[in-house]
Amino acid sequence: MGTATSSPATGSGEAGKQATAVDQQEQDDGGPWGVDLSIPFEEIIDIRPLADGTGCTCWQGTLGGNNEGNKRVAIKTLKASNSTSDSDAEDLDRELSILQHLRHPNVVRLAGAGQTPEGGQFVVTELLSGGTLSAAIGTQDRPEGTGWFQRFRVRTWFPMEEALRQAAGVASALAYLHDEAVPHGISVVKGAKVLHRDIKPNNLAFTADFRTLKLFDFGLAKMLRPDDSIGDNLYNMTGNTGSMRYMAPEVARNLPANETADVYSFAIVLWEMVSLELPFQFYGVNQLTERVILGGARPRLAPDWPAGFTDLLTRCWSADLRERPSMAEVEKRLREVLQQPGGNARDVYLLKHILLVGIDILTSSLGEHRSV
């Protein structure tokens, strides 16, 4: 799929300045960031399937009829009415309402919205044509027995340094969502936080040049207002939201939660980016519940990884919400790790991890035989 190139470091302070130093006029024309919320569907041409979800379908097409000229975009529409629910429509409306207020280099950019000829909502964003992180590192779609070769192939263009650089950009985006994203729109309460609630490799994608990894799919996102807190910066939210492999224990258990649920999910994704392994790859739903959600199991940390990095992961995926750092601190720590000398830790880890994966397979197989 091509070679990923290194992206410039943009810390939360620097990226935040980029995000907020936008001409005020943009916020006044047509929406908080000047997007057209009444795009005629006929202005989108050359529409092709992109991805298929439970209640929505994503397409790619060409948007014309504006001063910037034609541009390739992604379009999300509801499926046929007989296959969607009210919650699907609510998710799409929520995604649109939140994206209107966001502007960050590592967050997908809203291009507009409108109504289909049938009267359904559609949302238009920039097209992240580099593909998803999941597809890029290939952790979730490997033919049996080819994992070691796939990891070796990916490592040639996605070494640990590049993984950490890209992760720092995503951390900057999450820090922005949790701390800075909204006080721009006059229709929302100042100080509100945006929680993504479904951070996973399939919801992160590269730009066409592979320089930037961006967060997208805000269908499950939630805006938390200060008055919504039940105390101690905790909020009652819908439990079991997101993808279980990356889901924070408190969310899976339907307990009060806050923005640190995103911190936990980010840490699991970060481990996957660096190890090039699917976390808990041999666990089914029952094992995830018993061993991870209730038992506190976490992915195996390589002894060759920098101590600062492993300490950061351990704090981020702590079962105790109070021990998890803010995403602003996560970004800062990642950039500190990037400044440390040495870069062969993950390559050494690869050889050891192949052996450990074999042990996991054997252990899982023995466990299945015992349970029969």
Instruction: Give me the percent of the chain exceeding a pLDDT of 90.
Output: 58
Q: How many residues does the chain have?
A: 372
SS3 87: helix
Please count the CA atoms within 13 angstroms of the CA of 342 that sit on its side-chain side.
12
Mean pLDDT of the chain: 82
Q: Is the distance from CB of 243 to CB of 274 less than 8 angstroms?
A: no
Cα–Cα dist 56/12, whole Å:
32
When mean pLDDT is compared across 21-25, 105-109, 116-120, the lowest value belongs to 21-25
Token readout for 159 is 């070494």
Query: What domains can be seen in the chain, in order of their start residue?
Result: 34-126 (3.30.200.20), 141-361 (1.10.510.10)
How does pLDDT run across 23-74, given as a tens digit for each residue? Answer: 333 333 344 556 899 999 999 999 999 998 888 999 999 998 554 557 899 9
Instruction: Name the nearest CA neighbour of 170 among 2, 11, 371.
Output: 11
Sign of the CA dihedral 172, 178, 184, 190? Answer: negative
Between 146 and 360, residue with greater pLDDT: 360
Rg (CA), the chain: 21
Which whole number is the average pLDDT over 129-156?
A: 74
Give the H or E element holding residue 68. Answer: none
Say what the pLDDT of residue 158 is.
Answer: 87
Cα–Cα dist 114/44, whole Å:
11
In the numeric block, the tokens 């819908």 are attached to 238
Under DSSP, the state recorded for 239 is: S
The residues with which 204 forms a beta bridge, in sequence order, are 215
Say what the pLDDT of residue 246 is.
Answer: 98
Cα–Cα dist 13/335, whole Å:
12
Model's pTM, two decimal places?
A: 0.81
Give the H or E element holding residue 204. Answer: strand 204-206
